[in-house]
């Protein structure tokens, strides 16, 4: 599997590359120093499945970088790396389609845990990131244990990846009305009302989708 790290600090990229290489030898890590180079890498590597993104890039400040990445590679999972871990920043990143958020102040084992969770199809957020958000549960929660059907689990997985309804329909070969029905069922099971709340609930439960 290929992953892409976009960060403008060379030392940080090198250190993170060594950490990822030691714990995830199956992950081929590409690197870019700005958003423009990252978009080129995505274009040249359509099989990229994960992007680790710094929000403070020289050619794109803040959440706009997530939007650009999602527009170019909607099937790619995005994990944000940022020194700004205020609750509002975390929640806004999730609203833009990120499936994880790791503070740059986190220790190496935290990043390793976050990557394992996101590579397994889950969501990682820092403890206390938003109201009601807790560290991942000790007991593994699965779609089956929540009473979700396999199709509902597929819809939730794509929702967590930030996919809009149109792309979920295309990916699963379902009508828009069917996708909306599945989303409504997912929301009921998670006891939420919005897509962002569903992603946050998945993080709180430590939900595993693969």
**Among 2-11, 101-110, 201-210, which stretch is predicted with the lowest mean pLDDT?**
201-210
Is the Cβ–Cβ distance between 7 and 33 less than 8 Å? yes
The pLDDT > 90 percentage for the chain reads: 37
| Total-model pTM | 0.74
- The neighbouring-strand residues paired with 3 are 29, 50
Residue 110, classed as helix, strand or coil, is: helix
DSSP 147: T
The pLDDT > 70 percentage for the chain reads: 93
User: ∠ CA 79-201-57 to the nearest 5 degrees?
Assistant: 20
CA nearest to 36, candidates 83, 69, 82: 69
Residue 134: per-residue pLDDT: 43
CB burial of residue 95 (10 Å; 0-12, 13-18, 19+): middle
Residue 210: per-residue pLDDT: 62
Question: CA-CA distance, 197 to 36, in Å (whole number)?
Answer: 31
Residue 137: per-residue pLDDT: 43
- Count how many Cα atoms sit within 13 Å of the Cα of residue 141 in the half-sphere of its side chain: 18
CB burial of residue 5 (10 Å; 0-12, 13-18, 19+): buried
- State yes or no: pLDDT of 201 exceeds 80: yes
Residue 129 backbone dihedrals phi, psi, to 5 degrees: -65, -40
Residue 138: per-residue pLDDT: 44
- State yes or no: pLDDT of 8 exceeds 90: yes
CA nearest to 50, candidates 80, 23, 71, 22: 80
Rg of the chain on CA atoms, in Å: 16
- Mean per-residue pLDDT over the chain, rounded: 86
pLDDT band, residue 85 (cuts 50/70/90): confident
List, in order of start, the domains of the chain with CATH numbers. Answer: 2-119 (3.40.50.2300), 150-205 (1.10.10.10)
Is the Cβ–Cβ distance between 54 and 83 less than 8 Å? no
């Amino acid at each position: 599997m290929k992953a892409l790290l976009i960060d403008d600090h060379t030392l940080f990229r090198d250190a993170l590359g060594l950490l990822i290489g030691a714990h995830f030898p199956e992950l081929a890590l590409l690197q870019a120093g700005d958003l423009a180079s990252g978009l080129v890498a995505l274009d040249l590597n359509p099989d990229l499945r994960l992007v680790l993104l710094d929000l403070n890039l020289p050619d794109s400040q803040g959440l706009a970088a997530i939007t650009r990445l999602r527009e170019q590679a909607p099937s790619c999972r995005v994990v944000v790396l940022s020194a700004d871990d205020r609750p509002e920043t975390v929640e806004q990143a999730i609203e833009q389609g990120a499936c994880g958020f790791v503070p740059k102040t986190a220790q190496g084992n935290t990043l390793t845990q976050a990557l394992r969770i996101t590579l397994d199809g889950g969501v990682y957020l820092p403890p206390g990131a938003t109201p009601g958000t807790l560290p991942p549960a000790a007991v593994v929660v699965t779609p089956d244990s929540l009473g979700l059907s396999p199709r509902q689990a597929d819809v939730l997985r794509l929702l967590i990846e930030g996919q809009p309804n149109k792309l979920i329909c295309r990916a699963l070969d379902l009508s828009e009305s069917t996708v909306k029905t599945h989303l409504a069922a997912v929301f009921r099971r998670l006891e939420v009302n919005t897509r962002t709340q569903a992603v946050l609930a998945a993080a709180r439960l430590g939900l595993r989708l693969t």
